[in-house]
């Protein structure tokens, strides 16, 4: 069994990194994939059956999520297993939290 290494985004995301993650998550099918992987690692065969997607369509969305840094994979025999990268989720959560904290600041008085 071989685990493929994928660099996780740092916890302190830049705006560009956050935009890339949000763009990957903006598609409803990709969000379904993320939700399906929320319970742990899953085989592609299970994801195609559970999500009702053709393997080619699912593969495209998995590739986008993987390139964004949200997923890691490993191959076992002829099957590929995908899992969320928790650091990516935590990094996005931290970025959104910082944004939320900043938006509460009152405006500077106009001169």
Say how far apart CA 44 and CA 79 lie, in whole Å: 7
Q: Mean pLDDT throughout 64-69?
A: 96
Backbone phi and psi for residue 53, each to the nearest 5 degrees, phi listed first: -115, 145
Domain boundaries, the chain: 13-98
Q: Domain 13-98 carries which CATH code?
A: 1.10.10.10
pLDDT tens digits for 9-63? 445 788 899 999 999 999 999 999 999 999 999 999 999 999 999 999 999 999 9
What one-character DSSP code corresponds to residue 13?
-
> Cα Rg for the chain, rounded, in angstroms?
17
Return the pLDDT at 8: 41
In the predicted structure, residue 2 carries a pLDDT above the cut 70: no
Backbone phi and psi for residue 73, each to the nearest 5 degrees, phi listed first: -140, 165
Say how far apart CA 65 and CA 73 lie, in whole Å: 11
Return the pLDDT at 45: 92
Report residue 5's pLDDT band, with 50, 70 and 90 as the boundaries: very low
Return the pLDDT at 6: 41
Backbone phi and psi for residue 81, each to the nearest 5 degrees, phi listed first: -110, 135
């Amino acid at each position: 069994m071989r685990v493929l290494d994928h660099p996780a985004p740092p916890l302190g995301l830049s705006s560009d990194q956050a935009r890339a993650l949000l763009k990957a998550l903006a598609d409803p099918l990709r969000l379904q994939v993320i939700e399906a992987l929320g319970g742990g690692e899953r085989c592609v065969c299970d994801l195609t059956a559970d999500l009702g997607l053709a393997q080619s369509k699912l593969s495209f969305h998995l590739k986008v999520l993987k390139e964004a840094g949200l997923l890691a994979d490993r191959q076992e025999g002829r099957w590929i297993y995908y899992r969320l990268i928790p650091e990516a989720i935590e990094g996005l959560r931290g970025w959104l939290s910082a944004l939320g904290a900043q938006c509460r600041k009152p405006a500077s008085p106009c001169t």
